């Protein structure tokens, strides 16, 4: 991955090397918490890393190219990334997403020329996964189906990118890494690399506390189709966060100048809990958590929202 240079040849080279911003936790003065701003990627989310890597690996071994269309199911951010890179590389893109995905993300994907196929909102993202499999099975020659939930290039992007950047940027003081799990690519790849470090680094996964939740992008694994790349043994610990805690944290951080999405609010809430726990045990620490995207991606209303004037 190239460094954050001022002049680059392609939008693909703008992925990664994201900054980390300090989150003060007054109740834990001996613990430093950093939020790694994956929202600074060119598509606005952490999903740029996985999408870029899945596309480049598939182009390299011939699964993609020769006019093949990339198709996948996505709740949005991966779709934005596929659409952006597809447009940059001349690859047609089709996406299956639940109809209740935020309007902003549908419109962003469409702006890049992507075709969107809607799935039943009541079936959630698992319904979109089932639908894309049916479409691909019926047109095997037309499509390249990266399947972000099962593609090893997804965690590999984090193994070689995110984790390396974190170790480089905070140095040998890192004690904890905190990230939510959706496809689980961020946690699987980053944690594997951090666990290879000589000193113990504790990796904390964040999941919603209930199957019915509002932390868009995260999966409640117990009630979901479990992604093939997800290995529950990789995180050292899983914290189950209430939707309201993630939302309230996102709102509170915005008033301090950091406007993050709801799942990132949950990640930072979890990181602060870890910090407070360390403080209560009288231990110092250094925690890095992931900001997956910005809050403005969730501004746009649902299709039925009548309070919004277009």
Partner 1 sequence: MATKVRIPASLRTLTGGKDEVTAAGDTVGALIEDLEKNHPGIKDRLVDEKGVRRFVNLYVGEEDVRFLDGLGTPLKAGDEISIVPAIAGG
Binding site for partner 1 (CB under 8 A): 47, 73-78, 97-98, 100-101, 121-127, 148-149, 182-183, 208, 210-220, 223-224, 227, 243-244, 247, 302, 304-307
| Closest distance of CB 81 from partner 1, Å | 11
| Closest distance of CB 117 from partner 1, Å | 15
Helix spans in the chain (H): 47-61, 77-89, 103-111, 124-138, 153-157, 163-170, 185-195, 243-254, 262-280
Q: How far is CA 252 from CA 29, 85, 206, 275, in A?
A: 19, 33, 19, 18
Strand order in the sheet with 31-37: 20-23, 31-37, 285-291, 176-180, 202-208, 237-241
Check: CB of residue 217 under 8 Å from CB of residue 298. Answer: no
The number of residues in the chain equals 310
Check: CB of residue 67 under 8 Å from CB of residue 59. Answer: no
| Closest distance of CB 50 from partner 1, Å | 9
Closest-CA residue to 28 (of 291, 274, 288): 274
In the complex with partner 1, which residue's Cβ is closer, 200 or 306?
A: 306
In the complex with partner 1, which residue's Cβ is closer, 209 or 276?
A: 209
In the complex with partner 1, which residue's Cβ is closer, 44 or 217?
A: 217
| Closest distance of CB 304 from partner 1, Å | 5
| Closest distance of CB 163 from partner 1, Å | 20
In the complex with partner 1, which residue's Cβ is closer, 22 or 304?
A: 304
In the complex with partner 1, which residue's Cβ is closer, 32 or 125?
A: 125
| Closest distance of CB 88 from partner 1, Å | 21
In the complex with partner 1, which residue's Cβ is closer, 57 or 216?
A: 216
Q: Strands, E, within 64-175: which ranges?
A: 69-73, 93-98, 115-119, 143-144
Check: CB of residue 82 under 8 Å from CB of residue 72. Answer: yes
């Amino acid at each position: 991955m190239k460094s954050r240079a001022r002049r680059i040849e392609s939008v693909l080279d703008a992925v990664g090397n994201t900054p980390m911003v300090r989150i003060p936790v007054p109740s834990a003065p001996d613990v430093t918490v950093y939020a790694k701003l994956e929202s600074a990627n060119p598509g606005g989310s952490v999903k740029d890393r996985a999408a870029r890597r899945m596309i480049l690996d598939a182009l390299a071994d011939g699964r993609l190219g020769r006019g093949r269309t990339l198709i996948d199911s996505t709740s949005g951010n991966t779709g934005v990334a596929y659409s952006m890179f597809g447009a940059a590389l001349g690859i047609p893109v089709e996406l299956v997403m639940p109809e209740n995905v935020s309007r902003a993300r549908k419109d962003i994907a469409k702006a890049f020329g992507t075709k969107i196929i809607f799935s039943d909102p009541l079936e959630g993202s698992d319904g979109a996964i089932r639908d894309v499999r049916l479409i691909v099975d019926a047109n095997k020659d037309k499509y390249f189906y990266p399947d972000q939930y099962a593609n090893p290039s997804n965690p590999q992007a984090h193994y070689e990118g995110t984790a390396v950047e974190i170790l480089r940027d905070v140095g040998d003081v890192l004690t904890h890494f905190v990230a939510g799990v959706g496809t689980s690519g961020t946690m699987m790849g980053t944690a594997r690399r951090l666990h290879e470090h000589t000193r113990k680094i504790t990796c904390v996964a964040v999941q919603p506390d209930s199957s019915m939740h509002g932390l868009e992008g995260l999966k409640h694994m117990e009630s979901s189709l479990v992604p093939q790349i997800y290995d529950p043994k990789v995180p050292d610990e899983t914290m189950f966060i209430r939707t309201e805690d993630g939302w309230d944290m996102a709102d509170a951080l915005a008033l301090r100048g950091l406007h993050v999405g709801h799942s990132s609010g949950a990640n930072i809430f979890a990181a602060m809990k870890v910090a407070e726990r360390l403080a209560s045990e009288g231990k110092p620490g250094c925690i890095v958590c992931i900001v997956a995207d910005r809050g403005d991606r969730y501004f746009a209303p649902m299709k039925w929202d009548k309070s919004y004037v277009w």
